[in-house]
Every structure is written in structure tokens, then in C-alpha cells.
Amino acid sequence: MTTHRLSTPPSEARNRPVTPWWVDAVIYQVYPRSFADADGDGMGDLRGVTSRLDYLAQLGVDAIWLSPFYLSPQHDAGYDVADYRAVDPRFGTLEDADEMIAAAHEAGIRVVVDLVPNHTSSEHAWFQAALAAGPDSPERARYHFAEGRGEHGELPPNNWESTFGGGAWTRVTEADGTPGQWYLHLFDTSQPDLNWENEEVREEFRSILRFWLDRGVDGFRVDVAHGLIKQPGYPDADHSRMGMVTDAGEDADPTFDPDTFEPLTPFLDQDRVHEVYRDWRRVLDSYGHEPMMVAEAWVAPLSRMFRYVRPGEMHQTFNFTYLMAGWDAASLTHAIDRSFEQAGRVGAPNTWVLSNHDTVRHASRYGLADPSSYPAGITAEDEQPDEAVGRRRARAAAMVELGLPGSAYIYQGDELGLPEHTTLAAEHRQDPYFFRTDGKEPGRDGCRIPLPWAADEPSYGFSTPADDDGPASAAEGVAAPWLPQPASFRALAADRQVGVEGSVFELYRRLLQIRGELDLGTGTFAWSEHHDPARGVLAFTVTSGGGRHLGSGEPIPARTVLVMANLSTDPVDLPTGHSRALFSLEEAEAVQDGRLAHDAAAWLLMD
Ligand code: GLC
């Protein structure tokens, strides 16, 4: 197949409805702490992102989504925001953000920023004011403050638990030194939940949206989008009804009623949360550059998850059912089928994702004895993934993900085939999830390791010495990265992969080129006659084109790509009748005696 980037006619030139950019966008998640460090202090920053935009342009992504870079005490790696309109000095300045946005646009890359509406940092001015103001004040009404139970209010208001372990309520000491009310935090104690019944909270977030839209951002990834509304009166969660689901289907989320799919948790996926997004949608629609919103809503029943992308609400929602299906043909088939079915019901495009900053990297998950298992983290005491097997499967999985119509997310480092750091010592761990569970849960640090850019440089080229009055100079060298990198990162460094035939990076680049060239992202999906999940074979076709050029009236031929992945242990027959083929591995390895090898995938252009 051709390896150079073919110019794809803009959608306006096609005889089909104009497609907004996000419908089929490939969006690359930048985790700013760990992407690139331009000032040598061991932590990534915005100027680091700007300095590597050429790499992202080479890769061929349409947009980047940046995890939070706002002012924050960093108790949850920036998901604890102290000021939504300021950049944390660790990451740079507002000017650096403006420059990054402008440079990305110059490179043809759109910019999506993270928005954290469920909670602020406890250092946010509003929370500090709430502590000072005392019970029944308008300042406390912006958060969830409640009296405790028990004779002296010594028990929390209800039995809700924090996602990071332990109770979800913390008692404050009032100004007179006495133990006082309790406040709700679904995450860390440093992340008090905002009260979305409060109009001031709603107005503040409309204003924050406008602040970043005015600076030119192209969208928002909405953190914990399903958590904003809590049931009035804070009723106990009925744990007795949870975990009773026996059917292991994809909708079997124990926090939802197995019959009605209504949420059993009084603070997740409440109906009224959708009001908020309909309101935000009006704000976004008042801007002319097609800004979008994508929901981070860990809602397993897909019929509930797709409610976030009904007309007039969000544009996209992350498909975690697909992410969690693992390397298993039956689960993937189920996830794909149900996603198309439910997306079709609301008229929204699908999104596909394999990893992010909260999950064990898929190149490692797929290297476990059970490649569909989903551990919350991996330590040196746990089963160690087989890195070669995991990477081989990850290459094939990229061909499935990027072959599917819709929008696809790439987590930084996926394109290098990076594994999880599975032996990170406890002393390096920083995730509050680790601390709040007394180390029982390893937490998410293993997927957040700084990227390797150059195999032979300190910190594998992650940090570059500041060239001016930054914290380091060329003579001083660079600080150690904020999390140590495993030795296996060296051979996977970007400078060992870019331009190197057969590398994971070149595979991704080629897939994105062809995806654009053939317009696969807006194509039509169908399972192929070769699809056979019982035998570990995924096979589907994507057909695109078939219209007429709007300007010249010339016909645009319909083209069909057959995507096939072999998840079994044996080779499987490869269909014939294609004019071009691309494989997840070198052809000699992927095709044996005309058959597709195990854990390999193919894109076949059928003529
Ligand atoms: C989301 C983020 C995660 C964070 C949590 C609390 O799940 O992705 O990293 O810890 O929200 O903000």
C-alpha cells in the first residue's frame, strides 16, 4: 500500500452531508506531566507539547486532548483544580497555553482541554471561603455540606464510598475549633464535590467554557461527566442490591439494576445530569468553529451511556465497554455490535479507545495469561505480562480500532507500543488511589510514566535543559523524571521508531494515512462472512466513497476495506480478492502459507 500521505479532499468536496471534524477524528491524549519536559525540571510542560507538535503532525492525528494543566496542588495529578482559568506554574503560563493552541492550529491539529466540573481542589477559593463561612452560608451551598449522623454528628451523613477507597465524607473543624459539618468528596479528601443544584456553580462553568473557547480551544473532555447530580437528601446507597448481576453480558454493571438498567448508586448517572450538558451545548453552539464535548462517563449499560450523546447534548462519549473487552473476539464482537446499535438509536458516531491515564496500558493487559483481564494496576508481586506477546497483540488491536468507523483515541505512547511500568516501587507511587487504599491498590502511576523520546539521552530524552533562566541549564543537566522509566522504554524511544520500517510508530502512521485516504472514519460498517468470534476471528468491512465530487461531478468510487484480526492461537485463512494489503507485522511474519498468523491483523483493500 502507499506509504505517503495522500491528500484527502475536504468533506465539503464530497457529495454527502458535510461532516463535522470530530465525527471521525483521531484524537491523541497528551498527559502533560509525562509528554515532554522543555524546562528540565523532570515534569512535562506546555512548551514541551509545543516542541513536539511536529511529531504529532507526522503521526497524522487530527486533535490532541490534554489532561488538566490548570493551577492545582496536584493531589490527583491536576484533577484537583484550584483555578480553572490559570495554568499551573509547573506546566507554564497562560501565554504558553495560547502559544501551544496557536502552534497546534498552525500544524493542523485541534486542541481539546479537560474540564473537571464534579469537584474542585480543596485549595480553590470557593472551598476556602466555604470553610471560613460556616454552616448554612451561600459559600457552603456551592458544595455538599451536611450534618453528621449520631448523637454528636460524629458519623458521616450516609454510607457513600470514595472511588479512591474509604468514606466519601470528611468532617471539618469549624472556626470556633469544634468538630462541625461533613463535606462530600467522591474522590480524594482534597477534591470536594460541587453542588450542581446551585445556580452560581452552573453560571461559573458556563463562564469557564467561554474562557477557553475564547482562547480558541476546539473542545472539552468532561471529567466524571456522570457524577454531577446527587439524589436529594443523600440517601444511603443500597449495597445489598449491588453485585447481584449474574448475567455476564456487557450490560452487567453491578451498580445498575439488571432489569431496568436504572442506576443503583444515588450519585452516578442521575437523569438530571443531562440538563447540564444541554445547557453547555447551547454555549458551544454559539461558537462557529464546531467545538465539541466528550464525556468521561463510566456507565456500562451502553443504552445509558449513549444518552450522553443524544441530540443537543454531548458530541462523543468514551466507549469503555470496548476498552474493557480486552483481547477477546467474543467480547469485542459484543462491544462493537452493541455500540453500533446504541449509537444508531441516538444518531451519534462511535468512539473507540484502548488505553488512557487511568487504565493499565493495553500492550501490557494483552500480555497477561488472560488477555481480557482488567487489573486496576500491576506491581512486581503480580503476574508479569509478556511484553513481546502484548505488543504483538497491541499492533493488531490498533488495526481493529483504527479500522472502525467513528472517532478513535490514542493514549500517548500507544503509538510507540509502550508497556505499563509493572515494577514501580511503592516509594515512587504518587496516585491518591494507592494511598487511600493503604497500598492495596497499586494505583495508576504505571501508565503515566514519562515518554521516551531519545534512547541515548538522560531520561530517554523526556527532559531537555532549559535554554534560558529556567530551573536547569545545559551545564546543570536535567532533573530525574517525576516517575522513573523502566529500562524497556529505551528500545522503544521515538528516535528508534520514527522513520524505521516495521516500528509501531510507522504502523500507526501508515494506518492513519490510509484511514484518511480511504475515509474509513465515515465509512459504513458490516461484519464480513469471514467473521467467526467462536474461532477467535474478527472480520468486518468498511465501505466509503461512492458519491460524486461536488465541484467536478466526477464519481468517487466506493471502496471497501476488509479488516481481519486473528485472536486465536492458530493461523486462519486469509480472504483473497484484494488489490492491496497492510499487516500488523512484517508480511513474512503475518502471513504463513497464505494464512494470517495468530495475534496478527490485516487491512485488505477489496476491489
Ligand atoms: C477521572 C480522571 C481521573 C481522576 C478522576 C477524578 O476519572 O480521569 O484521572 O482521578 O476523574 O477527577
State pLDDT tens for residues 450-481: 999 999 999 999 999 886 554 544 446 899 99
Tell me the HSE value of 324 on the side-chain side, using a 13 A CA sphere: 18
Q: Does ligand 1 lie within 6 Å of residue 79's CB atom?
A: yes
| Per-residue model confidence as pLDDT tens digits over 409-450 | 999 999 999 999 999 999 999 999 999 999 999 999 999 999
Quick one: how far is CA 271 from the chain centroid? 24
**Global pTM?**
0.95
Q: Where in the sequence of the chain do the CATH 3.90.400.10 domains occur?
A: 125-184
* 193 in Cβ contact with 185 (< 8 Å): yes
Which pLDDT does position 243 carry in this prediction? 57
Of ligand 1's listed atoms, the one at least distance from the Cα of 298 is 7
Q: Beta-strand (E) ranges in 248-295?
A: 292-295
Of ligand 1's listed atoms, the one at least distance from the Cα of 80 is 12
Of ligand 1's listed atoms, the one at least distance from the Cα of 356 is 8
DSSP assignment, residue 319?
-
Which pLDDT does position 2 carry in this prediction? 29
Q: Does ligand 1 lie within 6 Å of residue 220's CB atom?
A: no
Q: Does ligand 1 lie within 6 Å of residue 223's CB atom?
A: yes
**Ligand 1 centroid to 368 CA: how many Å?**
25
Which pLDDT does position 261 carry in this prediction? 82
DSSP assignment, residue 10?
P
Of ligand 1's listed atoms, the one at least distance from the Cα of 118 is 12
Residue ID of nearest Cα to ligand 1 atom 12: 79
Which pLDDT does position 252 carry in this prediction? 62
What is the separation, in whole angstroms, between the first and last Cα of the chain?
A: 14
**Ligand 1 centroid to 546 CA: how many Å?**
42
CB atoms within 10 A of CB 7: 8
- Cα separation, 41 vs 459, whole angstroms: 11
Of ligand 1's listed atoms, the one at least distance from the Cα of 76 is 10
- Read out DSSP for 93-160? -HHHHHHHHHHHHHTT-EEEEEE--SB--TTSHHHHHHHHH-TT-TTGGGB-EE--BSTTS-B-SS--
**Ligand 1 centroid to 459 CA: how many Å?**
27
Under-70 pLDDT residues of the chain: 1-17, 241-252, 467-476
Q: What share of the chain is helix, strand, coil (3-state, %, to 5)?
A: 30, 20, 50
CATH superfamily of 125-184: Oligo-1,6-glucosidase; Domain 2 (3.90.400.10)
Q: Does ligand 1 lie within 6 Å of residue 76's CB atom?
A: yes
Q: Does ligand 1 lie within 6 Å of residue 41's CB atom?
A: no
Q: Where in the sequence of the chain do the CATH 3.20.20.80 domains occur?
A: 22-118+201-496
- Cα separation, 60 vs 40, whole angstroms: 27
Residue ID of nearest Cα to ligand 1 atom 6: 79
Q: Does ligand 1 lie within 6 Å of residue 358's CB atom?
A: yes
For ligand 1, mutation pick of 72, 74, 190, 224 (most atoms within 8 Å of CB): 224
Residue ID of nearest Cα to ligand 1 atom 4: 79
- Cα separation, 314 vs 311, whole angstroms: 8
**Ligand 1 centroid to 192 CA: how many Å?**
13
Q: Does ligand 1 lie within 6 Å of residue 224's CB atom?
A: yes
**Ligand 1 centroid to 532 CA: how many Å?**
37
Which pLDDT does position 251 carry in this prediction? 56
Q: Does ligand 1 lie within 6 Å of residue 187's CB atom?
A: yes
* 83 in Cβ contact with 71 (< 8 Å): yes
**Ligand 1 centroid to 272 CA: how many Å?**
21
Which pLDDT does position 9 carry in this prediction? 38
**Ligand 1 centroid to 223 CA: how many Å?**
6
**Ligand 1 centroid to 421 CA: how many Å?**
20
Specify the residue for cell string 451502553.
302
- Cα separation, 56 vs 54, whole angstroms: 5
Residue ID of nearest Cα to ligand 1 atom 9: 358
Q: Which residues pair with 316 in a beta bridge?
A: 294
Q: Does ligand 1 lie within 6 Å of residue 294's CB atom?
A: no
Which pLDDT does position 392 carry in this prediction? 98
Identify the three-state secondary structure at position 502: coil
For ligand 1, mutation pick of 69, 74, 79 (most atoms within 8 Å of CB): 79
**Ligand 1 centroid to 226 CA: how many Å?**
12
- Top CATH class of 22-118+201-496 equals alpha beta
Tell me the HSE value of 549 on the side-chain side, using a 13 A CA sphere: 10
**Ligand 1 centroid to 116 CA: how many Å?**
9
